[in-house]
Structure 1
Amino acid sequence: MFEATKVGRSVSKEDYKAQQEELRTQLLAIQHDLKESRIPVIILVSGVEAAGKGEVINRLNEWLDTRGVQTFAFWNESDEERERPRYWRFWRAMPPRGEISILFGGWYQTPIEHRFNGYCTDAELDGELNRIVDFERMLIQDGALIVKFWFHLSEADQKARLKELSRDDKSRWKMLPDKSKFSEHYATFEQVAERIILHTDRGVSPWYLIEASDRRYRDLTVGKTLLHAIRSRLAEASNGDAANNLVSPDLPGSPSAQITLLDQLDLSLSLPRDQYKTDLKRLQTEINELAWTAYNKKRSTVLMFEGVDAGGKGGAIRRITTAIDARLYRAIPVAAPTDEEKAHHYLWRFWRHIPRAGHITLYDRSWYGRVLVERVEGYASDAEWRRAYSEINRFEEQLVDSGVILLKFWLHISQDEQLKRFKDRESVPYKRYKITEDDWRNREKWPYYKEAVNEMVARTSTRHAAWTLIEGDDKAYARVKVMRTICDTLSESLKGDPIPTAGYVPCGEKRIVGGG
């Protein structure tokens, strides 16, 4: 497939100079339009060694307004990155809407290197490429434009370029170990590249193969291709998206057809006060010990709490955090997204808080807002919240596969109990901040939320990330059930030897703690 990148295309110095000025003007103009459109652009730069990928990135930063461009190189992983799921480092590089991120290698760099070095099989590689395809589709469905460039050289041109770079004291090439392997195994690298490109070359995110032997041709082709891609995407945006206008099916009208999982919870369950105090003290001691065990074994934990308003999420979280050393956890209250968060994919603000190995993050509300409040209140389109189920399942699967212990709780109470708690909050001065007009308004939409929760649990309670439904009318019972579930899960998950801080199954996401 690379024959077309070895035909010897070139541009004279005069032609380059004449075209560069106009191209740069057009790129700056389209970058301004991009800012107004709020479309994020992700440029992936990959290819054979010595093809000049760094030179191209420097040229794009020269031609564009660098105030709207960020460049990321994914070389050696930091300790911070190794202790989190692999895609955490890529989410940190996602551009705000209307801006551009240039990713050197991006999520393709590690699969290429691992297959080239024989660290994984073709089947394992294909599994990771499937994840990449899903990841790119998710970003594109959220409005992003992904432009992927592959720079290629003939074997003879690569050898000549490597010889040239070896004489340049400023070249990064001198810092790379085993430099000779790329030229000695050119055919193997090309085979790996072909497999990866064929697998991930999709209509919504195609690869652009660029002949890189002539630097002037290479740079102009990249600039013109990028200009065309952004123009096309802006034109699509101006035409609207009819795919968002989906209609939700109605259920049959009889009461028995409206029953949900929440209706099957026994909300009369309770716990005597004396037993509650005894159980709570024992469980808090246990969870403290388990938290330190997890820290020593380098296992991170994510505790996620959802539930109806006044369902007891805050009370349950406080009983957990008072039992754990404050240095081991972070509690993240999730409210309406900020302007910065709105400028990214909705999962971005949750990825950024994923704990490093041995630590705990507690989310008070979570990524499920997309299929709950955003669905019911109309903040997300039908298409957006419908595709969120698969996006969330893939997100949680990545967490668990990387070694994260994930627990998801839904705390439920009856409408009568909620009304009682609302009135209590209004009458107690130090609780008034907990009750808002939105709480009363949401109460009026109880049937819609109940239907949304039912579908949410049905579609996202998976083998790797099951939901735990908590009967919450009695606060004591609910808190003890939450604590007991956490202790039982941690105890089971932490059996065996400590997990090493390095190493993983190549190409896949079955990583131990970190690594790329």
Structure 2
Amino acid sequence: QMLQSRVQGEIKDARLDQAIAGAERLEKMFCDEGALIFKFWFHLSKKQMKARLKALADDPLHSWRISPLDWQQSKTYDKFVHFGERILRRTSRDYAPWYVIEGVDSNYRSLTVGKILLEGLQNALRQPKGKVSGMNPAPLPVAVDQVSLLNSLDMTLSLEKDDYEEQLITEQARLSGLMRDKRMRKHALITVFEGNDAAGKGGAIRRVAAALDPRQYHIIPIAAPTEDERAQPYLWRFWRQIPARGMFSVFDRSWYGRVLVERIEGFCTPADWMRAYGEINDFEEQLRDAGVIVVKFWLAIDKDTQLERFQAREAIPFKRFKITEDDWRNREKWDEYRAAVGDMVDRTSTEVSPWTLVEANDKRWARVKVLRTINLALEEAFAQSDKHDQKGKKK
């Protein structure tokens, strides 16, 4: 009801936020009373939705299944998805997460739903008596078709040296100009660099920094939290590093450590990292509302490329400091980390703050793609600011 009312313009954002908060309180109450909540969003693209409606309308036996509301949703598809994502982002919590499922193939859809329900019920039955309250309804499912976003990347993408040097200089000059643009005074910029060990995060960051005045940016390497930081809420140490307007902060690893290394290494409980997806989405939405542009990168390499780079680091004296026992140990958990990355992207790549997956087997390609993505994000933010200013003048 809240979604339809907002799409049709019957309520405004403030009323939608009240409804979302009410739904959260209701679901929390149910969970505290020992209920299990499963929430499914079956997704169709606009093209798929129109094709399905047309097929049903042309079928005399099934045309009755289409209601006027279905046709209305087809016409307001973009708004429906926009506000639907907002509701999902706000109400996906560790005690009642949303499961977004591709709705095109009925067999895939049914099998996935059944698997989630079965695992959720089995998980509940394994809990000690009286410990059901606040638990996760189901572990995050493994895709039944074993296909992931990382598997879909074309890792052969590359640039020749001459093309690389030309494009690198062009994008660096573009970034330099954008950071000096007067419209930057209304914004701050954050880039998040995550990726496999030896994926080239440091090299990409250096090429970004090379385009800028040192007074414009701050590089923040993230390591294990200190004792003082552990005594605070998880996101506290990142809030402290948010840049002022006109400034740029580069996070070399970030708040996503909770759903990556902390999850895999057992440094937090499943409830902690499941809850973190929603907390991170809220955090990034608050940043966006404050005028902060957030650009997030996952630099991906394949396992063979990582091995080559590890061996090269060990062979070159001045690079040996880059390779540690932890790097080799993490390599043994390659598949676990890939699964965690897939869950991270699925649950935190939003309209507010999307992920950019970078094919990083070729460092040249990766560096240019990173710079170009940052530039596009800045230009889009400036265009929206101009549009908003023009509306204000008309009023």
TM-score class normalised by the smaller sequence: 0.5 to 0.7
Aligned mates of 1:376, 1:440 — CA distance in 2:
15
Trace 1:55-74 onto structure 2 (pairs within 5 A). Answer: none
Aligned-partner residue type, residue 248 of structure 1: P
Contact 2:259–2:273 (CA under 8 A) maintained in structure 1: yes
Cα distance change on mapping 1:394 and 1:428 into 2, 3 Å: same
Q: Does 2:213 correspond to 1:325? A: yes
Q: Does 2:282 correspond to 1:430? A: no
* Runs of at least 4 residues off by over 2 Å: 121-135, 239-252, 256-259, 294-298, 495-500
- SS of corresponding position for 1:358: coil
Cα distance change on mapping 1:264 and 1:479 into 2, 3 Å: same
Aligned-partner residue type, residue 229 of structure 2: E
Unaligned runs of 5+ in 1: 1-120, 139-238, 505-516
- SS of corresponding position for 2:273: helix
Which residue is equivalent to 1:357?
245
Residue 302 of structure 1 and its aligned partner are, at CA, apart by 0.7
Cα distance change on mapping 1:264 and 1:126 into 2, 3 Å: closer
Counterpart of 2:14 (choices 124, 129, 136) is 124
Residue 494 of structure 1 and its aligned partner are, at CA, apart by 1.6
Cα distance change on mapping 1:446 and 1:398 into 2, 3 Å: same
Q: Does 2:293 correspond to 1:402? A: no
Which residue is equivalent to 2:368?
480
- SS of corresponding position for 2:179: helix
Counterpart of 2:262 (choices 374, 384, 399) is 374
Counterpart of 1:248 (choices 129, 139, 144) is 139
Contact 2:171–2:372 (CA under 8 A) maintained in structure 1: yes
Aligned mates of 1:467, 1:249 — CA distance in 2:
19
Aligned mates of 2:373, 2:136 — CA distance in 1:
41
Aligned-partner residue type, residue 332 of structure 1: I
Counterpart of 1:461 (choices 349, 362, 375) is 349
Aligned mates of 2:199, 2:270 — CA distance in 1:
27
Residue 431 of structure 1 and its aligned partner are, at CA, apart by 1.2
Deviations 1:44-95 (A, max 9, x none): xxxxxxxxxxxxxxxxxxxxxxxxxxxxxxxxxxxxxxxxxxxxxxxxxxxx
Residue 251 of structure 1 and its aligned partner are, at CA, apart by 3.6
Which residue is equivalent to 2:181?
293
Q: How many residues align?
A: 278
Contact 1:297–1:498 (CA under 8 A) maintained in structure 2: no
Q: Does 2:305 correspond to 1:305? A: no
Aligned-partner residue type, residue 139 of structure 2: S
Aligned mates of 1:330, 1:284 — CA distance in 2:
17
Residue 411 of structure 1 and its aligned partner are, at CA, apart by 0.3
Trace 1:39-438 onto structure 2 (pairs within 5 A). Answer: 124=14, 127=17, 243=134, 248=139, 251=142, 257-293=145-181, 296-438=184-326
Residue 241 of structure 1 and its aligned partner are, at CA, apart by 9.8
Q: Identical aligned pairs, as a percentage?
A: 48
Aligned-partner residue type, residue 427 of structure 1: A
Contact 1:413–1:472 (CA under 8 A) maintained in structure 2: yes
Aligned-partner residue type, residue 124 of structure 1: A
Cα distance change on mapping 1:249 and 1:123 into 2, 3 Å: closer
Residue 404 of structure 1 and its aligned partner are, at CA, apart by 0.9
Residue 240 of structure 1 and its aligned partner are, at CA, apart by 9.5
User: TM-score, length-normalised on structure 1?
Assistant: 0.49
Aligned-partner residue type, residue 192 of structure 2: M
Cα distance change on mapping 1:130 and 1:344 into 2, 3 Å: farther
Contact 1:299–1:499 (CA under 8 A) maintained in structure 2: no
Residue 249 of structure 1 and its aligned partner are, at CA, apart by 5.7
Residue 327 of structure 1 and its aligned partner are, at CA, apart by 0.7
Cα distance change on mapping 1:128 and 1:473 into 2, 3 Å: same
Q: Which has the higher helix share?
A: 2
Unaligned runs of 5+ in 2: 1-10, 29-129
Contact 2:186–2:291 (CA under 8 A) maintained in structure 1: no
Aligned mates of 2:286, 2:384 — CA distance in 1:
22
Contact 2:313–2:319 (CA under 8 A) maintained in structure 1: yes
Contact 2:297–2:358 (CA under 8 A) maintained in structure 1: yes
Cα distance change on mapping 1:132 and 1:402 into 2, 3 Å: farther
- SS of corresponding position for 2:347: helix
User: TM-score, length-normalised on structure 2?
Assistant: 0.64
- SS of corresponding position for 1:258: coil
Cα distance change on mapping 1:329 and 1:131 into 2, 3 Å: farther
Cα distance change on mapping 1:494 and 1:128 into 2, 3 Å: farther
The alignment's C-alpha RMSD in Å is 3.2
- SS of corresponding position for 2:298: strand
* Structure with the greater alpha carbon radius of gyration: 1
- SS of corresponding position for 2:193: strand
Aligned-partner residue type, residue 426 of structure 1: E
